[in-house]
Amino acid sequence: MLISPVDIPLLETQDISHFINGIRLREILTSNQGKTIPSDFYVLNHENFYVIYTSGSTGSPKGVQISYNNLMSFINWMKNDFGLLNHQVFLNQAPFSFDLSVMDIYPCLFLGGSLWMLPKEYIAAPKELFLSLEKSSANVWVSTPSFVDFCLSDDRFSASMLPGLTTFLFCGEALPNTTTVKIRERFPKAVIFNTYGPTECTVAATSIRIDDSLIGKHESLPIGFSKKDGKVYILSETLEEMSNGEKGEIVITGPHVSKGYLNQPELTRKSFFLFNGETAYKTGDLGYMKDGLLFYAGRLDFQVKVNGYRMELEEIEAHLCSLTLVKNAIIVPNYKNEKCEFLTAVVVTRQHEFQKEFQLTAQLKKGLRGILPQYMIPRKFVYRAFLPTTNNGKIDRKKVANEVTT
Ligand code: AMP
């Protein structure tokens, strides 16, 4: 089936008033009802269907190009392997700039479902959030584990609030064992899927149903198996396949792998290459196989996730160091239960006239606000006269991290 703008009327948004341009959208939907679009306007084959920007270590974001074929491979997988039905209500929590939203928008469109959109402001307003969830009649839950953890912190979040909820789909960050235990208690009839993948491989490339036999069996939950039309390899630095249990970089091939970054051939060459005759993407994730299952084991670089948002610490550092008040700075992730909860900026300043640290911090945050999205701005700022270095002259990140996180 072809995706085209004529499919848009299938998207029934009950809470349409929450769109910033809600009235305009309603107009567009009504005025296009029943119209057909000439086929020369269709996006097809290797043409870009969407471009989503992700944080880049060089200081500027990278535009991941996702083609029609990439997206179709993803949608077909969603339709066939997750027990989704026609006309279900899908929950949308992720903003459209985060490719997790693709996991609810497109399967929902293709299955003639409805999308229940949670406005961003509700995240800080649990009363409105729970009222909206109660009204949603949602069947399919799509979110980061962080978001469901937030909901689970309130006892009301259970099958009595969402009696029709049959499926939980998670992606974007590690799914803790403890989260799945709570979901099983509160939603005993629902099934849980852990999916894994980067934006460069069209949302997700592996999945596994988390049933009771898996919960608590391993230190961390598995990320499962590759989609049937793709492959996942664990490779060494010299691109040799690692044996069972050995850690290596997760490399993905298949029709869901992007053609690369928009107008960034050098960055594309760094992460995309030919492997066994197919386009392969080097994820920068460490992983290993055990008992025939794939496990995620952290990052090889300075990429972190906060509340599911992906960011390169080096991008934040580059922007912080570009501010006139800053001589040098590094960003330290603060972890709790293996999850990055927030970022701390450790800053060496140039001479300035601020009397108090909070004034300086306010000024630096203001400077960053003009160049970075809010979720990338460090929560905490600490100040140092200098940053310690290792024997080979690099900033001793471990030492600084130990100082500011303990
Ligand atoms: P994004 O491109 O924003 O979707 O982020 C992709 C990155 O998120 C991956 O490369 C992983 O580092 C991390 N990630 C995604 N899904 C999972 C998962 N199920 N478990 C652990 N990490 C994940």
pLDDT of 341-379, one tens digit each?
999 999 999 999 999 999 999 999 999 998 999 999 999
Task: Report whether pLDDT(12) > 60.
Answer: no
Mean pLDDT calculated for residue range 92-107: 94
Q: Which atom of ligand 1 is nearest to the CA of 309?
A: 3
Mean pLDDT of 179-206: 98
What mean pLDDT do residues 200-229 have? 96
| Mean pLDDT score, 284-309 | 93
> Hey, which of 55, 149, 296 would you mutate to test ligand 1's pocket, going by the most ligand atoms within 8 Å of its Cβ?
296
Confidence of residue 256 (pLDDT cuts 50, 70, 90): very high
What token pair was written down for 167? 């499926």
- Give the tokens for residue 30: 């009504």
Residue nearest to atom 22 of ligand 1 (CA): 173
Domains annotated for the chain, with CATH where assigned, are: 43-296 (3.40.50.12780), 307-405 (3.30.300.30)
Report the predicted TM-score, pTM, of the whole model to 2 decimal places. 0.86
Q: Answer yes or no: are the C-beta atoms of 398 and 360 closer than 8 Å.
A: no
Which pLDDT band, with edges at 50, 70 and 90, does 394 fall under? confident
State the chain's mean pLDDT as an integer: 91
Residue type present at position 36: T
For residue 199, the ligand 1 atom closest to its alpha carbon is 2
pLDDT digits (tens, 9 = 90+) for 121-149: 888 888 999 999 999 999 999 999 989 99
Residue 207 has pLDDT above 90, yes or no: yes
Ligand 1 site residues, Cβ closer than 6 angstroms: 54, 99, 171-175, 194, 196, 198-199, 223, 283, 285, 296, 299, 305, 310
> For residue 213, with 0-12 CB atoms within 10 Å meaning exposed, 13-18 middle and 19 or more buried, which class applies?
exposed
Residue 170 Cα: closest atom of ligand 1: 19
Is it the case that residue 262 has pLDDT exceeding 90? Answer: yes
% of the chain surpassing 70 pLDDT: 94
Range 255-263 average pLDDT: 98
The pLDDT of residue 391: 77
Task: Report how far apart the first and last C-alpha atoms of the chain are (Å, whole number).
Answer: 54
Query: Is-contact 13 132, C-beta < 8 A?
Result: no
Ligand 1, pocket-test mutation among 173, 293, 299, most atoms within 8 A of CB: 173
